[in-house]
């Protein structure tokens, strides 16, 4: 084995050790769970975190490339997936946005975001880990290399232009940074207005846990506390508009018997620990905060960038025949008024988010027959409050003579039909009639 390879492997092990130690915050052993259930207090949770002395299992390259989906990473892996889901739900961005995977490690955040359609920029100061992240995305044909990049760099001095990044995901990394003010100020600088930096970190007692003490002794580096009030103060000083907590505990430490639901609903005592507000607050503060910092400002709301819930249309269709011959086409003229809060984008986009007029053909019992015919593009963007006239031909070839209903709606392509998010559609009932055969010619 060459010196280079040996070095590479030992670096990976060094990283993975740190990584695994961080995941030791995650108290998973059956004995630990049983103790939580019996003692039922938040202090039991904290004790168990501290008492979990299982040694980290070093990852090999294969394990790092597979994380969090490898048998050896099951306990930590499912928690990381939970954390990722909470953060991914809070990005305030939609596919197509540029996301920084801050201190990416082996790059699973980049992989997942890339597969969702985001453009990902992975940054780490460990070349070896970043190499694995690059390799990971390259190995997976479901990732788009054209939307991913990898930068070796220091989180304290981000090598990116001011206001060039839509969002930042920082999982399990802030607590390794020597100076929170510098890091948060750098994040603030590179974020666009209204951009968010999202964090999933250990809490205010992290540095005192046996795992952290071991990690520092054996691997060096920093294992710092993340104190929410301190972060809040720093964020305000730096200029962030708000800091928002996502107050969740890990799912496996809350189990509510169904017959206690009514007690739970009205805030009465129930048998599960970690479900009362003070217990959740304690967990979030001391054990595992998930939060985001949001820069002030706003971005234009469009069909590609904002929540589909902002989409609303008022559609009126003009005169339309009630009987059509089989194999003919229905011509629809529609006035489409944007009564929502997003601009409908006209230009087709590979990742979707542009708006078209769509038509569904239903049988008279309401069953869908076809939703692909008669799609019409917008000739221009349509801002909120504006209207547009659209005309489309709906071919009826292949439909048997019967009664049908035509449903006319707007479509945020690859995202949703507007009806799904509460918009009204226009309807037209019609009948397809068999063509009568021409009279026979007699000579």
Ligand X SMILES: C[S@@+](CC[C@H](N)C(=O)[O-])C[C@H]1O[C@@H](n2cnc3c(N)ncnc32)[C@H](O)[C@@H]1O
Q: Which residues bind ligand X (CB under 6 A)?
A: 15, 18-19, 22, 103-105, 124-126, 129, 154-156, 171-173, 176-177
| Shorter beta-carbon distance to ligand X: residue 58 or 273 | 58
| Shorter beta-carbon distance to ligand X: residue 207 or 335 | 207
Instruction: Name the minimum Å distance from CB 302 to ligand X.
Output: 30
Instruction: Name the minimum Å distance from CB 113 to ligand X.
Output: 12
Q: Can you give the C-alpha Rg of the chain in angstroms?
A: 28
Query: How big, in percent rounded to 5, are the helix, strand and coil portions of the chain?
Result: 35, 25, 40
| Shorter beta-carbon distance to ligand X: residue 90 or 104 | 104
Dihedral through CA 128, CA 132, CA 133, CA 135, nearest 10? 130
Between CA 117 and CA 25 the distance in angstroms is: 31
Instruction: Name the minimum Å distance from CB 130 to ligand X.
Output: 8
* Helices assigned H by DSSP within 220-295: 228-238, 261-265, 277-282
| Shorter beta-carbon distance to ligand X: residue 105 or 308 | 105
Instruction: Name the minimum Å distance from CB 376 to ligand X.
Output: 44
| Shorter beta-carbon distance to ligand X: residue 134 or 428 | 134
| Residue with the two structure tokens 């630990």 | 32
Integer CA distances (angstroms), 98 to 116, 153, 273, 368, in order: 12, 18, 39, 37
Dihedral sign, Cα of residue 284, residue 289, residue 295, residue 300: negative
Residues 6 or more apart whose Cβ sits within 8 Å of residue 345: 302, 303, 304, 353, 354, 355, 378, 381
Instruction: Name the minimum Å distance from CB 157 to ligand X.
Output: 9
Task: Find the distance separating the first CA and the last CA of the chain, reported in whole Å.
Answer: 96
* Residue with the shortest CB distance to ligand X: 105
| Shorter beta-carbon distance to ligand X: residue 173 or 376 | 173
Instruction: Name the minimum Å distance from CB 103 to ligand X.
Output: 3
Two structure tokens written together for 318:
């003009």
Instruction: Name the minimum Å distance from CB 80 to ligand X.
Output: 6
CB 128 within 8 A of CB 12: yes
- The DSSP symbol for 33 reads H
| Shorter beta-carbon distance to ligand X: residue 15 or 291 | 15
Instruction: Name the minimum Å distance from CB 99 to ligand X.
Output: 13
| Shorter beta-carbon distance to ligand X: residue 17 or 352 | 17
Two structure tokens written together for 273:
């620990």
Integer CA distances (angstroms), 26 to 49, 88, 176, 186, 220, in order: 7, 20, 17, 29, 21
| Residue with the two structure tokens 């707007």 | 410
| Shorter beta-carbon distance to ligand X: residue 173 or 238 | 173
- Altogether, the residues listed in the chain come to a count of 443
Instruction: Name the minimum Å distance from CB 166 to ligand X.
Output: 18
């Amino acid at each position: 084995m060459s010196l280079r390879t040996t070095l590479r492997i030992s670096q990976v092990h060094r990283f993975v050790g740190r990584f695994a130690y961080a995941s030791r915050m995650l108290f998973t052993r059956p004995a630990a769970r049983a103790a939580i259930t019996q003692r039922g207090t938040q202090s039991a949770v904290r004790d168990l975190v501290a008492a979990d002395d299982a040694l980290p299992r070093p990852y090999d390259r294969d394990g790092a490339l597979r994380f969090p989906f490898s048998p050896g990473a099951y306990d930590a892996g499912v928690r990381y997936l939970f954390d990722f889901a909470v953060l991914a739900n809070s990005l305030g961005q939609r596919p197509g946005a540029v996301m920084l995977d801050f201190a990416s490690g082996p790059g699973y955040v980049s992989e997942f975001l890339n597969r969702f359609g985001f453009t990902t920029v992975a940054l780490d100061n460990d070349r070896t880990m970043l190499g694995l992240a690059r390799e990971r995305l390259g190995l997976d044909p479901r990732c788009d290399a054209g939307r991913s990049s990898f930068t070796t760099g220091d989180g304290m001095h981000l090598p990116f232009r001011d206001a060039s990044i839509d969002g930042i995901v920082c999982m399990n990394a802030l607590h390794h940074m020597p100076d929170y003010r510098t890091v948060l100020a750098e994040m603030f600088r590179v974020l666009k207005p209204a951009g968010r930096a999202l964090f999933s970190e250990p809490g205010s007692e992290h540095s005192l846990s046996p795992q952290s003490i071991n990690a520092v002794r054996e691997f060096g580096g920093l294992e710092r506390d993340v104190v929410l009030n301190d972060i809040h103060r720093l964020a305000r000083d730096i200029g962030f508009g708000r800091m928002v907590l996502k107050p969740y505990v890990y799912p496996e430490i809350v189990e509510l018997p169904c017959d206690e639901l009514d007690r739970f609903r009205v805030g009465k005592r129930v048998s599960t620990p970690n479900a009362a507000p003070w217990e959740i607050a304690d967990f979030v503060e001391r054990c595992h905060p998930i939060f985001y910092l949001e820069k002030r400002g706003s971005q234009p709301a469009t069909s590609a960038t904002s929540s589909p819930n902002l989409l609303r249309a008022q559609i009126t269709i003009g005169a339309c025949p009630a009987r059509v011959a089989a194999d003919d086409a229905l011509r629809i003229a529609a006035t489409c008024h944007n009564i929502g809060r997003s601009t409908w984008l006209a230009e087709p986009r590979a990742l979707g988010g542009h708006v078209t007029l769509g038509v569904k053909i239903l049988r008279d019992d309401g069953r869908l027959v076809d939703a692909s015919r008669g799609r019409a593009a917008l000739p221009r963007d349509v801002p909120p409050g504006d209207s547009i006239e659209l005309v489309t031909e709906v071919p009826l070839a292949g439909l048997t003579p019967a009664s049908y209903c035509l449903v006319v709606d707007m479509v945020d392509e690859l995202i949703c039909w507007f009806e799904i998010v509460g918009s009204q559609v226009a309807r037209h009932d019609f009948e397809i009639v068999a063509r009568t055969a021409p009279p026979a010619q007699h000579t």
